[in-house]
Chains A and B, each alone.
Chain A
């Protein structure tokens, strides 16, 4: 197999289009006769609509239609959760479950007319008494029954946790809180819907066109092949586009009623309230250990908020279940309903907030024991999966620790907190482990070799900004033995072979495997064609006696003997030669995960006390790296996002109504360039072929997991103050 393509630091193929403005996003779609929609939001967070007066809106200039629950939309069925966000279909009744809930959709000839008319819709409410915050919801927290979103064990017991705790010579116990945070992608969610008879085409900002097509089909009672979803490029998603949300269905509904294409661009404010968020969590952890640091037991109790129209637990406790070798364990997840929008997958669902709690607790234990935090983690390394006992498909976590500690200069850390200073700055080092389950999904792709030597990859996955277009090209180029610049790719359309979703770090491994299989199929077919073709210089050779490089097939024993794909196919009049790839993950004897270690240096202005992450190093074990440039970029972005989670991100709520206080980027802060110090990323870069044929695993999430804990641990090292609530603001440190 040639080494062309994989791992090369290629610039992403769509980079030029993106920076010159040539790139076409979903909001750039303009269809003939297209109308524009605006969604009207509920002003109250609980209760019901007493009346909805749409007469002024209907009479406003340019308005084509106004729809609400009064029009009794007939949904065929509620699509399958989890990838439809809620149990309630939009407009199905007059109930209000959260502020910002869609209560009407206004369609007009221009965007401005729609926005104007939306402001004329008059709602009167019978306001209920909201459960405004997680804090207020906690007393009614409950353990959810399995089903829908609740697709992992809500309670896990291993060994005899209570006895083990009682018998532990060293114990630490603490409560950690993470904040309500929001995806805040640059591109808001957008849907354009158009019907032709009973065939629906949706241009939708979707992280999973194939999955979403099925959900939309269910909602409208259509066969799947009557629905087409198209998603050209995504301007950031971070989980906000993993699910089908109400606006997508409402726009399709309006388009059907009006008999013309309709587009909606969700407002920035609606991005904060109607396309999910990461729910706040309260997590209690207790650890019992031997004096030498070996863990005897962990208990991890976690409660997160959910809405009144969805039960969605955050799998925070998996961190405790699956990271360290601990013989006794008890975990429990509870839900607490509040009147806020429905939570969803965000950045690193579960392990993001979960690793914050666990990895801080481990730091507390290290401090209690006077142990080195890296050493403590090494000592508790899980050689096999601690719950299932299965072997790992590939795990180089010890190497991550070793490389990380060395490159970071971890030995310079002073164990006594608050001892390192420089001028006004307190200096601290912190670290944390990262671990993420590697998910697999079935995926298909075709790879066409054309008579001009060009190659086309077709697969219905999508690029959400992580470089997927480029890495898939590299995978195909590598397997075919052609230069990557000969390969083009088409994604984001359900008319293509069904690809993998771009969430849950699935794309590289699963879709990459499908592309690789397709390319291998095409390559094999070309070789068969050549060795069986009297006109080919390779005629008569055994298939495995032929190799391909730079688009040229040649005899391994005599490289001068050969011909290019282009010549072969032209002579045989095969255009294109198509390879098919179908990856279906099989039951595995292995547990597959990605791993990493984060090391961070903070400096804290003693008086103000603002935390700055001046230096961060991540060592990541995600199998083979497909493109070192896009991978580094992805990892740095993930780390920066998590520094935001650690230090500034919080969508604050009104304590009485529960409404978001400042649902705008003016006050919902993510880090800017000036906040970010040096960020180094090192990849272990060893293929994990037990995981999938490609040997590559997901990177999207592993790079973020543990960062907030590393920062909090560094803050402790710098100051001696243990901040257990995110974000770590100056107010909390004062």
Chain B
């Protein structure tokens, strides 16, 4: 197995173009497990750890540009105020060791339906920036996931960043696991309130072959909230429940060792109802995370 260690993005892209089968390795927290279990024997590893361009974040044109190789620990420490949903999700990933190494870019490329970054990225309309020697393009998050562990990334492309707006309203993330840490989600849910546009974003994890949104739930709740953004008042329990039901209905979960489909659907509805309740409560209390 070859080990390629580019020190710039241009070099990395050239390497990827030359050896498209080379497997990129960022934190390695997925790649090393696959190698260890012999699920994969790539001809080459393409180490991204010396590619400085993708290891930082910045604010560009009112959006956060989060480099693909920024580890979770930095998302938590540095972006908790601007990307609260993603930071909450990051806090639930693995253990400190995994959060020190693991990256959002790796999570995206792995495209596991259970990845914890996906729901908050979906809820806040993130855009994935990918590059190859052919150039750079952006993929809306909803078009990024194609199937179980399959994404819109081409063989010669690397993920360079995720672009997402800083929170313009309260965000929440919640995850059910079979234990409280070091656990793959049985299901997860993210919600983002967007008072500026009068919309609500959702993201469902471990709920279908790909991470997905719940458009009907989003439409429903946008309708219910339309009169309330200006004069916030508590939401009726029936509204929260209906929202939860619609989220549950959007799921197409499976039975596996971690949980049954029925349990997942049920739990998603509960998570949706609760997270929306918390987010709306924050909004009513004026605890809107200020946008930059």
Chain A interface (Cβ within 8 Å of chain B)?
A: 119, 607-608, 610, 648, 652, 661-662, 664, 666-667, 669, 671-675, 729-731, 734
Contact = CB atoms under 8 A, between A and B. Distances in A.
Given A669-B178, A675-B179, 17 more contacts: A607-B270, A608-B176, A648-B178, A648-B179, A666-B184, A667-B258, A672-B95, A672-B180, A672-B181, A672-B182, A674-B180, A674-B181, A675-B181, A730-B176, A730-B263, A731-B263, A734-B263
A672 B179 contact: yes
B20 interface: no
Nearest to A612: B180
B183 interface: yes
Contact of B266 (A648, A664, A729, A734): A734
Contacts of B183: 669, 672
Given A608-B270, A730-B263, A652 B180 contact: no
Contacts of A648: 178-179
B259 interface: yes
Contacts of A607: 270
Nearest to A666: B184
B263 A673 contact: no
Interface of A is mostly: loop
The winner among A119, A610, A671 for most chain B CB atoms within 10 A is: A610
A607 B263 CA distance: 11
A730 B263 CA distance: 8
Interface in B170-202: 176, 178-184
B269 to A, nearest CB: 9
Which 10 residue pairs across A and B have the least CB separation, nearest first? A674-B180, A674-B181, A607-B270, A672-B181, A675-B180, A731-B263, A675-B179, A662-B257, A672-B182, A669-B179
A669 B270 CA distance: 24
Nearest to A119: B38
Contacts of A667: 257-258
Nearest to A729: B178
8 contacts: A664-B37, A669-B178, A669-B183, A672-B179, A672-B180, A673-B181, A674-B180, A730-B267
Nearest to B38: A119
A672 B94 CA distance: 11
Interface string B253-280: 0000111101100110010000000000
Contacts of B258: 667
A616 to B, nearest CB: 16
Given A608-B270, A673-B181, A675-B179, A731 B257 contact: no
Say which size band chain B's interface belongs to. 20 to 34
Contacts of B262: 734
Contacts of B37: 664
Contacts of A652: 257
Given A652-B257, A672-B181, A731-B260, A610 B266 contact: no
Contacts of B259: 730-731
B266 A674 contact: no
B272 to A, nearest CB: 11
A666 B37 CA distance: 12
A102 B38 CA distance: 19
A672 B260 CA distance: 22
Contacts of B181: 672-675
Nearest to B244: A607
A734 B260 CA distance: 11
Task: Output the residue of B95, B178, B262 with the most chain A CB within 10 A.
Answer: B178
Nearest to B37: A664
Contacts of A662: 257
Interface of B: 37-38, 95, 176, 178-184, 257-260, 262-263, 266-267, 270
Contacts of B257: 652, 661-662, 667
Contacts of B267: 608, 730
Contacts of B95: 672
Contacts of A730: 176, 259, 263, 267
A650 to B, nearest CB: 9
A667 B266 CA distance: 22
Contacts of B260: 731
Contacts of B176: 608, 610, 730
A119 B38 CA distance: 10
A666 B29 CA distance: 13
A54 to B, nearest CB: 19
A728 to B, nearest CB: 12
A662 B37 CA distance: 12
A187 B263 CA distance: 34
A608 B274 CA distance: 11
Q: Which of A673, A729, A730 has the most CB of B within 10 A?
A: A730
B167 to A, nearest CB: 26
A395 B262 CA distance: 49
B58 to A, nearest CB: 33
A661 B95 CA distance: 24
B130 to A, nearest CB: 29
Most buried by B among A119, A607, A648, A729: A607
A731 B176 CA distance: 12
Nearest to A606: B270
A674 B184 CA distance: 15
Nearest to A668: B257
B194 to A, nearest CB: 27
Contacts of A673: 181
A667 B178 CA distance: 9
Contacts of A664: 37
A172 to B, nearest CB: 30
Nearest to B95: A672
B263 A674 contact: no
Contacts of A608: 176, 267, 270
B175 to A, nearest CB: 11
A673, A674, A734: residue with the most chain B Cβ atoms closer than 10 Å: A674
B54 to A, nearest CB: 28
A674 to B, nearest CB: 4
B242 to A, nearest CB: 16
Nearest to B273: A607
A666 to B, nearest CB: 7
B92 to A, nearest CB: 10
Contacts of A734: 262-263, 266
Q: Which of A652, A669, A671 has the most CB of B within 10 A?
A: A669
Nearest to B258: A667
A671 B179 CA distance: 7
Contacts of A666: 184
A424 to B, nearest CB: 8
A666 B259 CA distance: 14
A674 B179 contact: yes
Nearest to A610: B176
A607 to B, nearest CB: 4
A652 B180 CA distance: 20
B3 to A, nearest CB: 15
A674 B180 CA distance: 5
Contacts of A674: 179-181
A143 to B, nearest CB: 34
A585 B270 CA distance: 59
A729 B37 CA distance: 28
Contacts of B266: 734
Nearest to B270: A607
A608 B270 CA distance: 7
A607 B184 CA distance: 20
Contacts of B263: 730-731, 734
A648 B259 CA distance: 12
B276 to A, nearest CB: 14
A60 B38 CA distance: 17
